Amino acid sequence: MNVESQKGLKPGEARAPGPSTKDIILQDTNKAPDALVTENFTYNAREDIAYERYYDPAFFQKEVEQLWSKVWQWACRLEHIPEVGDNYVYDVGPYSILIVRHGEGPEDIKAYHNSCLHRGTQLKPSDSQSHSAKLRCPFHGWEWNLDGTVSEIPCRWDFPKVTDEEFKLPEVKVGFWGGFVFINMDPDSISLEEHLEVLPDHFSQFFPLDRRYIEVHLRRELPCNWKAAAEAFIEAYHVRETHNGADPVGNGCTNAQYDVFGDNVTRFVHTIGYPSPNWPNETAEDIANSMEERIKAAQANRETLGEKYDLDLSGYSDSEMLDSIEYFCFPNMFLFPGITLPMIYRFRPNGMDPDSSLFDLLFLRPLKEGEEHPEPPEVVRLGPEEVYATVPNMDPGLAIVYEQDTSNLEAQQRGFKAGAKRVQTLANYQESRVRQVHITLDKYVKD
């Protein structure tokens, strides 16, 4: 589709020239999952988005009260708490949630507000992972059993108003999917299944998430609002400039496919190893050669990763072995179902600072049949001057990409406040997922 042929199209109908992502994937040597060639886009135009949504303390306070206390969000993986007594603390904004395994089954996991019912002290330190037979306050020794019932109150005779029933630890809703533990602080929320929309169906067609293990887990503080951080990863429009004019054969970024499946779930797929239509001089022979190179690159990944992880990857499509396939689940979870790019991202507020956020990056590698989950690696916390390449098992090429991806964020956050134009203007198609974040956000955050 060239510029001339797009005259007269309705807003949101224009597409980059050249074959679509679906057209390319349908030429894979192995059949791709049906979910991967599904297309679902509806033009979701709205007014330009005000910059103040990214830094205004009053708007941020509304997000804290009306979004983060009421939305499903993943807290940890099941392998973080495999044994009875294991616990994990998840912090978001001012909130701290303590996830505890109190029995053998997946149903024997509870989540509590991480606060003593005596004088409010956190039962476990923020951002911690530990094991204990009881949940004991470090201040005065009030203690609860793992199931939240009262175990001990020192000098109980001095607290006649305290009853065991009323002083159970207040619970937070818990849900499970794909090996992840989700929490929701709103007792009246929709179910996790409703929130996930098409994700369970689509991911049933890929290598199972619950049969993957954490190979890499890093956390970095970013100098920007959580939405700006997430939105930096939600479109491929930035690839040519941010990633140093990426090789046109390396990243089919401008003809990436964008899908909006519902309020919460969106996706992009951009192909690797196929000419980007932004380079206008390809011949039919160039394109054929590129497709041949794409097939060879996919096969090389099958062999290399198959040997590394002792897996038979011969049945996986070229797209799963090469392409950037990225699902987003509102408000802050990114999932890549591919084999070669197996990432999970999470972005969340850093305390009560609207100008700061936390970025969690995980690589989830496939387990062999019957293999148990190994103990997860410790989270590598990167300081402001530390680089992604220093993280153990980090792919060197991807480390450079992440440095580039996060390099713009401080400048953008500062630019939000400095600009004479007080709104951002989004592309109709390539930035439709950014727009959807705000459409869904407005269903939570009210004046």
Of the two residues 237 and 335, the one the predictor is more confident about is 335
Asked if residue 63 lies in contact with residue 443, where contact means CB atoms within 8 angstroms, the answer is no
Start-to-end CA span in the chain (Å): 43
For 279, counting Cβ atoms within 10 Å of its Cβ (0-12 exposed, 13-18 middle, 19+ buried), the class is middle
Its pTM stands at 0.95
Q: What percent of the chain has pLDDT over 90?
A: 80
- pLDDT over threshold 90, residue 429: yes
Asked if residue 55 lies in contact with residue 82, where contact means CB atoms within 8 angstroms, the answer is no
Domain residues for 420? 4-62+209-444
CATH code, domain carrying 249: 3.90.380
Q: Is residue 192 in some structural domain? A: no
Last residue of a domain, one of 147, 168, 184: 184
Q: For the chain, give the longest Cα–Cα distance.
A: 87
Last residue of a domain, one of 184, 219, 249: 184
Q: Is residue 302 in some structural domain? A: yes
CATH code, domain carrying 155: 2.102.10.10
- Asked if residue 223 and residue 133 are part of one domain, the reply reads no
* pLDDT (0 to 100) of residue 247: 46
- Asked if residue 57 and residue 89 are part of one domain, the reply reads no
Residue 242: pLDDT band with limits 50, 70, 90: confident
- Asked if residue 369 and residue 276 are part of one domain, the reply reads yes
Number of domains present in the structure of the chain: 2
Section 137-156 average pLDDT: 98
* pLDDT (0 to 100) of residue 249: 40
- Asked if residue 332 and residue 267 are part of one domain, the reply reads yes
- Asked if residue 377 and residue 240 are part of one domain, the reply reads yes
Residue 277: pLDDT band with limits 50, 70, 90: low
pLDDT in tens, 75-93: 999 999 999 999 999 999 9
Average pLDDT over all residues of the chain: 92
Q: Is residue 316 in some structural domain? A: yes
- Asked if residue 100 and residue 43 are part of one domain, the reply reads no
Last residue of a domain, one of 168, 184, 200: 184
- Asked if residue 101 and residue 156 are part of one domain, the reply reads yes
- Asked if residue 296 and residue 353 are part of one domain, the reply reads yes
- Asked if residue 163 and residue 213 are part of one domain, the reply reads no
Reference 255, options 324, 355, 208; nearest CA is 324
Asked if residue 43 lies in contact with residue 435, where contact means CB atoms within 8 angstroms, the answer is no
Residue 147: pLDDT band with limits 50, 70, 90: very high
Q: Is residue 67 in some structural domain? A: no
- Asked if residue 234 and residue 129 are part of one domain, the reply reads no
Q: Is residue 190 in some structural domain? A: no
- Asked if residue 368 and residue 280 are part of one domain, the reply reads yes
Asked if residue 405 lies in contact with residue 347, where contact means CB atoms within 8 angstroms, the answer is no
Of the two residues 347 and 20, the one the predictor is more confident about is 347
Q: Is residue 194 in some structural domain? A: no
Q: Is residue 202 in some structural domain? A: no
Q: Is residue 296 in some structural domain? A: yes
138: left (phi over 0), alpha (psi -120 to 50) or beta: alpha
pLDDT in tens, 243-267: 875 444 444 577 899 999 999 999 9
pLDDT in tens, 172-213: 999 999 999 999 999 999 999 999 999 999 999 999 999 999
- Asked if residue 399 and residue 256 are part of one domain, the reply reads yes
- pLDDT over threshold 60, residue 281: no
